[in-house]
Structure 1
Amino acid sequence: MAKRKPVLAPYHSFTKAQWSALRADEPMTLTREDIARLRTLSDPISLEEAEETYLPLTRLLSFYVEAIQGLHNVSTRFLETPDQKVPFIIGVAGSVAVGKSTTARILQALLQRWPSSPKVDLVTTDGFLHSNKVLAERGIMERKGFPESYDRTRFVQFLSDIKSGKGQMQVPVYSHLVYDVVPGSEVTVDRPDILIVEGLNILQPGELPKDGRPILFASDFIDFSIYIDADNDDLEAWFMERFFRLRETAFKDPTSFFRRFAEMSETEAGEFGKMVWRTINLPNLLDNVLPTRGRADLILKKGKNHLIEDVKLRRV
């Protein structure tokens, strides 16, 4: 009987305890107050969870940054080109309501407190969404968050400019309160040492041209990518939890796009929230977001309580 060839696993797998041990002597530089300020409404992360999950990650990232910088130095010596700072770009991907924003903000705070005090900027892809006016004109208002709802050309150009060392780059601002890009409002990204990019579809490769013509995707500029994973049922529960919390807070703002949901009965609001999840967020997750999970360098899998249960680190 012929022996089966071993299947090459693309990832190293770690239990929470195994991953936490890789922290080594990395010091915790955040306080409980910092964590409370950085976490989002529906992500009950604790200081202990941040220590166990993100300190090993920041230690790993320090090695990656050093390696990428070394590779860049070799390239500049070979090409005899002027040496210039090339930002290290970290991508954070995953479903709506999985906790991408919390992960990105905690990473930014921890990386800023490295002994070298690097300049760490954070941008979200929300700013690169087409305006509601454009989405309405194209008939895709109900597909906000899907790949076609973003100005992908502008986003790729932004990443290209950042990697090229350009300064004073302007990023559009998206307001979740008014549910639209804010006209004339921008934030400046000026030659960071590290840039964290958080968004739903940042790992999507897109379609390659059949003639073999070179084409760039956003993922081509990312030096290290993180995918926050969770079961679909848990994601729906977290989305609904966040929806109801917003209904009691931000939705009550008279300027909020979602003001009418605060005036609905709890039953009506619940039915609407579930409809949004099942007709928009879940299809986008299944068709566009989840398929990119296997492209990530690191996968952090959450359990029902939002705590990381296991970690996978790409080996190939």
Structure 2
Amino acid sequence: MDQITPSGLSPYRFFSAEEWAALGADMELTLSEDELRRLRSLDDPVDLEEVSRIYVAISRLLSAHVESSQLLFAKRQRFLKRSETAKTPFIIGIAGSVSVGKSTTARILKELLARWPSSPKVDLVTTDGFLYPNAVLEAAGLMRRKGFPESYDVASILRFLSQIKAGARDVRAPVYSHFSYDVQAGETILVDRPDILIFEGLNVLQVREMPRDGKAVPFVSDFFDHSIYIDAQEQDLRRWYVSRFLRLRQTAFRQEGSYFHRYSKVSEEEAVRIAEGLWSDINARNLRENILPTRPRADLILRKGPDHFIEQVALRKL
């Protein structure tokens, strides 16, 4: 994976981790160690210092965008001479590779955003629930392409986001179980007009081929007010993926009923071979073909170093 190189032609402003930390030096950290432990994913070493150094300032920046969006909404309503007071939710998309730490980032930002003085209601939904059920993927020969764009019910994602943006009450999102590695039939979560919705997934910034007739073709990212891409070198992503797989082999995979239970019974050498195969045959291909090409579409790029900590922030210029 290539480096993000600052240049005079770039649409981004670049900050080292130290420069970015200075922007949030006067902002209070309201997250406790116990809370962070609950939010942190397996094998993600993010600590309170990293939250204070990077994430607090990001949450303040996003909060400023939300406030500006609400002000623009009010001004537009006056311009249109409409008396509607209900504002549409501000949607933040978070993209990036498997094992890069999207879930941890999404959960931390959800907590921090809800703690700003305006106390916004913040919900988090992942695209995992919008995967086709395993039975459908197996019938279509797509189980080895799970996580690729074609494995998602994009029409359902677009309907969900359309309802959210329309300010609908109690919009239902499907639920996914990493234990059973499948969508949970009949299970949903309700999203009831949040101020902010964080929508996290591998391919949320994906685009499709544009129609030659000029007809409207909606993309998932069309519904985003701000987007974040979490970035890292491919060799680091691979190492983190294998490490997490080995940790899961000692924990969740040991439970009867786990989709990956069979992997808890193999030797560590065989487990490493399996994990590396899954990475190279599925996740690395998805990264190169579908995920990484969407990086330039993000408003904010968080570049991680080999230690899993953010070392560079790229912010799109206004």
Within-5 A mapping of 1:144-183:
144-183=146-185
Residue 74 of structure 1, CA deviation: 2.0
**1:281 alignment partner AA:** N
Amino acid at match of 1:27: E
| Bigger mean CA deviation after superposition, 83-92 or 290-299 | 83-92
Separation in 1 of the partners of 2:209 and 2:73? Answer: 29
| Alpha-carbon shift at residue 293 of structure 1 (Å) | 0.5
- 8 Å CA contact retained: 2:73, 2:87: no
Q: Give the distance between the partners of 2:197 and 2:160, measured in 1 at CA.
A: 12
* Aligned counterpart, 2:3: none
* Correspondence 1:77 to 2:78: yes
Q: Aligned to 2:280, what secondary structure does the other structure show?
A: helix
Partner-residue secondary structure (3-state), 2:35? helix
Question: Counterparts in 2 of 1:100-179, with a 5 A limit?
Answer: 100-179=102-181
Match of 2:98, SS state, is coil
Matches within 5 A, 1:173-212: 173-212=175-214
Q: Structure 2 CA distance, aligned partners of 1:7 and 1:311? A: 16
Paired-residue identity, %: 55
1:175-215 CA distances to partner (integer Å, 9 max, x unpaired)?
Answer: 01001001111111110010001100001122211100012
Measured after TM superposition, the shift of residue 42 of structure 1 is 1.4
Aligned to 2:95: 93
1:49 and 2:56 aligned: no
Structure-1 separation of matches of 2:216 and 2:85:
26
Equivalent residue for 2:4? none
Hey, what's the Cα distance between the residues in 1 that align with 2:10 and 2:143? 40
Q: Partners of 2:43 and 2:8 in 1: how far apart?
A: 38
Residue aligning to 2:244: 242
Task: Give 1:24 deviation, angstroms.
Answer: 4.4
**Separation in 2 of the partners of 1:70 and 1:203?**
26
- Counterpart position of 1:11: 12
Distance of 2:294 and 2:63 partners within structure 1: 25
Counterpart of 1:221, as a letter, is: F
Query: What's the counterpart of residue 276 of structure 1?
Result: 278
Shift of 1:53: 0.5
Cα deviation digits, residues 190-241 of structure 1 (max 9, x gap):
1001000110000112221110001211101111111110000000000001
Q: Measure, in 2, the Cα distance between the counterparts of 1:62 and 1:188.
A: 23
Residue identity matched to 2:253: F
Unaligned stretches of 5+ in structure 2?
1-6
Structure 1 residues 228-282: Cα deviation after superposition (integer angstroms, max 9, x where no partner): 1000000000000100010000001101010100011111111111100000000
Q: CA deviation at 1:109?
A: 0.7
What are the superposed Cα offsets for residues 45-74 of structure 1, whole Å, 9 maximum, x if unpaired? 010000001111011112111111122122
The 1-side partners of 2:25 and 2:47 are apart by: 20
Aligned ranges 1:257-272 → 2 under 5 Å: 257-272=259-274
TM-score, structure 1 as length reference: 0.96
Aligned residue in 2 for 1:23: 24
Question: Helix, strand or coil: the match of 2:158?
Answer: helix
Aligned length: 311
With 76-85 and 201-210 compared, the bigger mean Cα shift is at: 76-85
Cα deviation code 1:89-118 (max 9, x no counterpart): 111110000000000000011111112211
The 1:160–1:262 alpha-carbon spacing in structure 2 relative to 1, beyond 3 Å, is: same
Distance (whole Å) between structure 2 residues aligned to residue 176 and residue 65 of structure 1: 32
Report the alpha carbon displacement of residue 7 of structure 1 after superposing the two structures with TM: 4.4
Q: Which runs of 5+ in 1 are unaligned?
A: 1-5
Q: Deviations over 1:102-159 (max 9, x none)?
A: 0000001111111221110000000000000111111111100000000001001111
- Which one is further off, 217-226 or 74-83? 74-83
Question: What residue in structure 2 maps to residue 285 of structure 1?
Answer: 287
Which amino acid counterpart does residue 182 of structure 1 have in structure 2?
A: Q
1:80 Cα deviation (Å)?
2.5
1:3 aligns with none
Distance 2:276 2:75 in 1: 53
Task: Please give the secondary structure, in 2, of the residue aligned with 1:85.
Answer: coil
Runs of 4+, deviation exceeding 3 Å? none
